[in-house]
Amino acid sequence: MRTRFRHGAACAAVLMAAGCATPGGTAVVPSASAEVPEQTFSKVAPTADCPRKPAAVEAGGGTALRATTLSYAARNFDADVVLSDEGLAAMPGALTTEKLIDLDEAFLHGAFAAGGAYALVSLENTTGANLSVYDVRPVNIVVECVPLAAMVSYGNEGGDQSQIVFNMDADSPMPHLLDDSGGIGGPYFEEYPAIEFEGHGKESFLLYFISEFGAYSFEVLISYETGGRKEQVLVRNGFVPFRVATDLCPDGEARMSMTDREVEHMRALRYGEVRQRGRQWVPEVVDPDDWARQCPTL
């Protein structure tokens, strides 16, 4: 039985898709018991008319601040990833039960962190002058087709408290604080107008990206001011963009915001393959229908 820990929020349901095409182009067959009505494009588990690229592309180029991603992992389940047909074809060993998945390799080959993700990012002032970071936000966001080829759930329970959280399902994800219950609180830069660095100062920040509904690839733009000039720098997950996707089990609050049609659509979705950590960390094959039934909110 899978159990989800979301900073105090209850876990939600696994969903499965109707006659859709994944990014790799392979058709996904819907559950026989579900008839999903034709729908206009929605960011709730999109399975067609995607990927959707951003209308404009943001660029970095600043040199006074060095930004480096130190680690990237799924929220509270460090090795929980979902794969599209394309990603699974590039990494067929992801489904082996002989060993746990290599996260760095998985993300390099297109895996999405499931449900949400933590990025530990190092920021270093490369100059001798003071520097103020006044904005941090996801940019160059591509709305992807929800990946359905495989769910690989091997990770740890638990996780550090993030400093800045982003709701990736929002039209324009902005930096927020975490509230006392672990949910999304007020705007970060209203509470803290800037993140200050002295000359050659260095600090690491834990960024938290939530997706209850959709699938996204993106970069993070960090805007700062130093020496009377404003610059910005982009940070990625190494050589690839950050990727995060719903795990088809929205939490209770997110479930309440969904329309009946969106719930019906998500409830019909299934992963093609599911692997889960069993006893003593031994990977096990799980029936996708059994996996879906464990979600309490759909």
Strand partners, 216: 143, 244
Instruction: Please give the pLDDT value at position 135.
Output: 97
Task: Answer whether residue 233 is part of any domain.
Answer: yes
106: containing domain: 20-293
**CA–CA separation, 265 and 57 (whole Å):** 31
How crowded is the C-beta side of 15, counted as CA atoms within 13 Å? Answer: 32
Q: How many domains does the chain have?
A: 1
Residue 27 domain-assigned?
yes
Query: Is 8 inside a domain boundary?
Result: no
Q: Residue 73, Cα to own-chain centre: how many angstroms?
A: 9
Q: Residue 43 domain-assigned?
A: yes
Residue 52 lies in a domain: yes
CA distance 269 to 82: 13
Residue 14 lies in a domain: no
Q: Within a domain: residue 182?
A: yes
Question: pTM here?
Answer: 0.84
Name the H helices within the chain: 85-90, 103-108, 188-191, 252-256, 260-268, 288-293
On whether residue 4 sits in a domain, the answer given is no
d(CA 105, CA 9): 30
Q: What is the pLDDT along the chain (298 residues), one digit of tens a residue?
A: 444 434 333 332 222 233 333 333 333 333 333 343 444 568 899 999 999 999 999 999 999 999 999 999 987 657 799 999 999 999 988 898 888 788 889 999 999 999 999 999 999 999 999 999 999 999 999 999 999 999 999 876 555 667 899 999 999 999 999 877 767 889 999 999 999 999 999 999 999 999 999 999 999 999 999 999 999 999 999 999 999 999 999 999 899 999 999 999 999 999 999 998 877 778 899 999 999 999 999 9
User: What is the spatial distance between Cα 150 and Cα 272, in angstroms, rounded to a whole number?
Assistant: 5
